[in-house]
Amino acid sequence: MSKKVLYEGKAKIMYEMENPDELLVYYKDDATAGNGAKKGTIVDKGVMNNKITAFFFDLLKKNGIDHHCISMPSDREMIVKKLEIIPLEVVVRNIAAGSLAERLGLEEGTKMAIPIVELYYKSDELGDPMINHYHVKAMAMATDEEIREIERQALKVNEIMMAHLKTKKITLVDFKLEFGRDKNGTIILADEISPDNCRFWDSDTNEKLDKDRFRRDLGNVEDAYKEILRRLTGEER
Ligand code: ADP
Ligand code: UDP
């Protein structure tokens, strides 16, 4: 039986399921950067990101944060609750890097006094512009209450992940989350949590263990993803 593609994105393919409330997510090895300007392949990225995402979702669930994952039928696939995605990239930052370092003229690695939450409008055509609460409400993307809930969950995710990663000698620099609404209108964490959308630095050396190795042509890209999977789960691949 051939599965119907609902949407093919840059990193994943979303297939429809018999149950209209579910989707099958297929994690690809394709890698892009600069909003698709740079393209490549990271060998076994799909498998590693699926496993790393499943690990973090499990950790979050144990600590009171619900998520869309239902099960993992294979190394590259996840069955998830189909959500109405809110078109926001919710970025949390503990340390200045990437676009924040550039925008505010901060040296990469500067520790922020408090975690920063930023909202970006998820639009490939517009290059994901940064927006604030006013834009979110003016464009009817989410209500005040939903924005508060999204930011509460994002900051809680940050605390939970940071604490765990510290025990694995990994510094959580920043990351991006997506949220959606289920049939009851409940806000639920969606998408993925992997080296594709987090910055992970080795706590001793500050070596980058994430997609910046691909974005910035630093080499050893696969090894960085493998290292994150190994430190989190003990698995080599
Ligand atoms: P992009 O769209 O940025 O290229 P991906 O290749 O990762 O990204 O595609 C995954 C798509 O699926 C994203 O648009 C994401 O918002 C969406 N998505 C993630 N989780 C769910 C979900 N539970 N229900 C519906 N859509 C989802
Ligand atoms: N990020 C993401 N998708 C995007 C943009 C950013 O997952 O489209 C993540 C990125 O991996 C990093 C964080 O969000 O962990 C902050 O990224 P930044 O704004 O610094 O983006 P850059 O300009 O470096 O891509």
pLDDT tens for residues 94-147?
999 999 999 999 999 999 999 999 999 999 999 999 999 999 999 999 999 999
Nearest-Å Rg of the Cα atoms of the chain is 17
Residue 9 Cβ contacting ligand 1 at under 6 Å: yes
Average pLDDT, the chain: 97
Residues 94 and 165 in one domain: yes
Residues 142 and 116 in one domain: yes
Q: Given this model, what pLDDT does residue 3 score?
A: 86
CATH assignment at residue 18: 3.30.200.20
Question: How many domains are there within the chain?
Answer: 2
Q: Given this model, what pLDDT does residue 226 score?
A: 98
In a domain, residue 232? The reply is: no
User: How far apart (Å, rounded) are the C-alpha atoms in residues 174 and 141?
Assistant: 24
Q: Given this model, what pLDDT does residue 35 score?
A: 85
Residues 138 and 72 in one domain: no
Q: Given this model, what pLDDT does residue 33 score?
A: 94
Ligand 2 center–CA 139 separation, angstroms: 23
Q: Given this model, what pLDDT does residue 236 score?
A: 79
Which of 161, 162, 171, 176 maximizes ligand 2 atoms within 8 Å of its Cβ, making it the mutation to test the pocket?
176
Whether 131 contacts 121, CB under 8 Å: yes
User: How far apart (Å, rounded) are the C-alpha atoms in residues 233 and 199?
Assistant: 18
User: How far apart (Å, rounded) are the C-alpha atoms in residues 187 and 185?
Assistant: 6
In a domain, residue 111? The reply is: yes
Q: Given this model, what pLDDT does residue 49 score?
A: 98
Amino acid at 89: E
CA atoms within 13 A on the CB side of 29: 9
| Alpha helix positions (H), the chain | 45-62, 98-104, 133-138, 144-167, 212-215, 221-233
Strands 12-16 and 5-8: antiparallel
Ligand 2 center–CA 10 separation, angstroms: 14
Q: How confident is the model at residue 203 (pLDDT cuts 50, 70, 90)?
A: very high
Name the residue with tokens 């189909």.
Answer: 82
Range of the domain at 34: 4-81
Q: pLDDT over 70 for what percent of the chain?
A: 99
Residue 8 has pLDDT above 80, yes or no: yes
Which of 99, 162, 194 maximizes ligand 2 atoms within 8 Å of its Cβ, making it the mutation to test the pocket?
99
In a domain, residue 231? The reply is: no
Nearest ligand by distance to the CA of 34? 2
Ligand 1 center–CA 153 separation, angstroms: 19
User: How far apart (Å, rounded) are the C-alpha atoms in residues 41 and 130?
Assistant: 28
Residue 164 has pLDDT above 70, yes or no: yes
Residue 69 has pLDDT above 60, yes or no: yes
Name the residue with tokens 């149950």.
Answer: 19
Ligand 2 center–CA 115 separation, angstroms: 15
In a domain, residue 61? The reply is: yes
Q: pLDDT over 90 for what percent of the chain?
A: 96
CATH assignment at residue 103: 3.30.470.20
Q: Given this model, what pLDDT does residue 56 score?
A: 98
- Structure tokens, 114: 């408090």
Q: Given this model, what pLDDT does residue 1 score?
A: 54
